[in-house]
Structure 1
Amino acid sequence: MPQSEPPASDSFQVVAVAASAGGIHALTVLLGGLDADFPLPVLVVQHLDPRHRTVLAGILDRRTGLDVKLAEQGDTARPGTVYLAPPDRHLLVGADGSLSLSQSELVHFLRPSADLLFESVAGSYGARAVAVVLSGTGNDGAMGVDAVKSRGGTVIAQDPGTAEFGGMPEAAMGTGTVDFVLPLEEIPAVIRGLVDR
């Protein structure tokens, strides 16, 4: 019987990741498990104190073969590069891979917001998006994974039992739209498997 939709094998074009409390360790493990030739851009919202300049890009850059940088207005998302939302800026992506930063209102008292990133990824990439929710408190990312799933994307949540803070993964799981609930150490291999499939 013919398939009604194309297989996802070569269709993934972006990975979007949300993290908060406990997220720096989780991001280190996740990004450290992706090789320098990883063929997709990785967009990251990590909740950071907006009052301080962040050194997170430098920390993560030393722990992965991927290039890690703070996203800048007008960047084009390139394969093998990690783009971090700067403190106090929402990170959004267009269908052409162009990145934009916004100081629009806080979402759930947060800027940057994982929900806004995931919603923009869903709108721009649809079924070609992978969304990942890592350690964190609160429920940022839950509305966003719903959007990603509704457009045919794939959603991964860190097993709350392996997260320093399980609130964000649990909130994502509560939507009923998560495809994979995985221990942190297994997430990179599953992402590579999805992309290489």
Structure 2
Amino acid sequence: MNTSALDDLLLTRASALEAVVVGASAGGVQALLAIFNGLGADYRLPIISVLHLPDDRRSHLAEVFQQRLGIRVKEADDKESLQGGTLYFAGAGYHLLIEDDRSFSLSREEPLHFSRPSIDVLFESAADVYGAGLMGILLTGANEDGAQGLATIKRCGGLTVVQDPADAQVPTMPQAALALHPADFVLPIPGIHALLAELNKSPC
């Protein structure tokens, strides 16, 4: 990403952002740790992440990430209201949705793309709530989950970011997203990290 493009984004859109949603699958743990590195408790936006998990075991993602990151990290709870300065993870075995009152809801509906939690489910519900105030980020993964959801974010006026497939450990998921729509930014992991950091510097 060149500096002028980033500056244009910050001037025109960043101050209006209300939330960030992130999806990843195979190779996602290291990618997520890298893009969130350096974010602190003063981060102004809530970040909500789905990483594909086995359906039959408790997730320890929040604990693992909290040990390595400065931002507050927790697993999203049903009916919990979203707060800035917090990285939320979807728990195992439930779809994670965002409701109109900016709270979470959990669903045991059937898996989508063989996944529960599903990235598409989170992205589409968040797009309905936040519209142009949402940024969606799709990272490495081995299936097409998240592609339709990212297109929905774009259609609702939000900003979309896709990891450069050449940079992804598993490029299938980024490639599927780019096949559906041209993302606002196609970036390697360091570029996505820089974008998230710059969003926190923009005037509210």
Task: Please state which band the TM-score falls in when normalised by the shorter chain.
Answer: over 0.9
Task: Tell me the C-alpha RMSD between the 2 structures.
Answer: 1.5
Aligned residues: 192
Structure 1: distance between partners of 2:140 and 2:91: 19
Percent identity of the aligned residues? 41
| 30-39 or 181-190, larger mean C-alpha shift | 30-39
Shift in Å at residue 96 of structure 1?
2.3
The 2-side partners of 1:170 and 1:109 are apart by 18
- Alignment-derived partner of residue 39 in structure 2: 34
Is 1:186 aligned to residue 180 of structure 2? no
Moved beyond 6 Å, runs of 4+? none
Provide the rounded CA distance (Å) in 2 between the counterparts of 1:83 and 1:93: 12
Structure 2 residue runs without a partner (length 5+): 1-10
Counterpart code for 1:160: P
SS of corresponding position for 2:68: coil
Alignment match, 1:3: none
Q: What is the TM-score normalised by the length of structure 2?
A: 0.89
> Map of 1:142-157 to 2, 5 A cutoff?
142-157=147-162
**Structure 1 unmatched ranges of 5 or more:** 1-5
Report the counterpart of residue 53 of structure 2 in structure 1: 48
SS of the residue aligned with 1:57? helix
C-alpha offsets along residues 105-132 of structure 1, whole Å, 9 cap, x if unaligned? 1112211110010101110000000000
CA distance in structure 2 between the partners assigned to 1:138 and 1:118 by the alignment: 16
Q: Deviations over 1:85-104 (max 9, x none)?
A: 10111010123210111001
1:20 pairs with one of 20, 25, 37: 25
Q: Distance in 2 between matches of 1:132 and 1:79?
A: 17
SS across alignment from 1:62: helix
Please report the TM-score for the alignment, with normalisation by the length of structure 1: 0.92
Contact 2:40–2:72, Cα closer than 8 Å, also in 1: no
Once the two structures are superposed, residues 39-83 of structure 1 have per-residue CA deviations (whole angstroms, 9 ceiling, x without a partner) of 000111100111222211111111211111111101111101111
Q: Residue 93 of structure 2 corresponds to which residue in structure 1?
A: 88
**Greater helix content:** 2
What displacement does 1:193 show? 2.7
Deviation at 1:36, TM superposition (A): 2.6
